[in-house]
């Protein structure tokens, strides 16, 4: 398991830092770096696919 630490305040608890340090599972990078965060590209792709051809949804069940 690898945790990508972006140093956002919510991810900076002492308990979290200690756990990942002890388990050698930390991948550091700068805060607010969407270009380095792979999930940001996936959200864009997902949104384009879900809403392609101008589709709109009223409730979550319509998407699923």
Does the pLDDT of residue 42 top 80, yes or no? Answer: yes
Q: How far is CA 45 from CA 32, 35, 38, in A?
A: 19, 14, 11
Q: What is the pTM of this model?
A: 0.38
Q: What is the mean pLDDT of residues 1-11?
A: 67
In tens, the pLDDT along 15-38 reads 877 887 888 766 666 666 666 667
Q: Which domain holds residue 11?
A: 3-63
Number of independent structural domains in the chain: 1
The pLDDT value recorded for residue 31 is 61
Find the helix or strand (DSSP H, E) in which 26 lies: strand 26-28
Cα 5 from Cα 20, distance rounded (Å):
10
């Amino acid at each position: 398991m690898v945790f990508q630490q972006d140093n956002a305040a919510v991810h900076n608890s002492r308990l979290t830092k200690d756990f990942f340090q002890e388990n050698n599972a930390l991948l550091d990078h700068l805060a607010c770096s969407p270009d380095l965060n792979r999930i940001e590209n996936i959200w864009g792709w997902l949104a384009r696919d879900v809403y392609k051809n101008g589709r709109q949804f009223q409730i979550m069940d319509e998407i699923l």
